[in-house]
Amino acid sequence: MSTKATPAKTQRITLDVPAAQHKKIKTLASMMDLSIKDLMLMSFEEFMHKKYNKVTEQAIKQTLAGKNVKRFKTLEDLIEDLED
């Protein structure tokens, strides 16, 4: 009986980025001795497991619940509120 693990099903993602950004990503991956794919997967995993401080977590929860959310009709109204 074989105990080989079955490879996970994969999906392709296509991401268009500016040439300058692609060069930076490619250079960073090379410096880390990684493929671009591995760098992107590593970055995604780090992002998904990022821990926020308690104030930020509370603000995110309140925003998602629609609590303490300010709405503005114009950018000028937003800027005026920020300046107060």
- Does the pLDDT at position 30 exceed 60? yes
| Token pair for 60 | 């995110």
Based on the fold, state whether residues 58 and 40 are members of the same structural domain: no
Say if 57 falls within a structural domain.
yes
Based on the fold, state whether residues 44 and 59 are members of the same structural domain: no
For the chain, the domain total comes to 2
pLDDT per residue over 40-60, tens digit each? 999 999 888 888 899 988 988
Based on the fold, state whether residues 58 and 45 are members of the same structural domain: no
User: Quick one: pLDDT at residue 7?
Assistant: 76
pLDDT per residue over 64-81, tens digit each? 998 988 889 999 999 999
Based on the fold, state whether residues 42 and 57 are members of the same structural domain: no
Based on the fold, state whether residues 56 and 70 are members of the same structural domain: yes
User: Quick one: pLDDT at residue 19?
Assistant: 95
Cα first-last separation, the chain: 72
User: Quick one: pLDDT at residue 23?
Assistant: 96
Those residues whose C-beta lies under 8 Å from the C-beta of residue 40, and which sit 6 or more positions away, are: 25
Question: Which range marks the domain in which residue 33 is found?
Answer: 17-50
Say if 5 falls within a structural domain.
no
**C-alpha–C-alpha distance, residues 82 and 84, integer Å:** 6
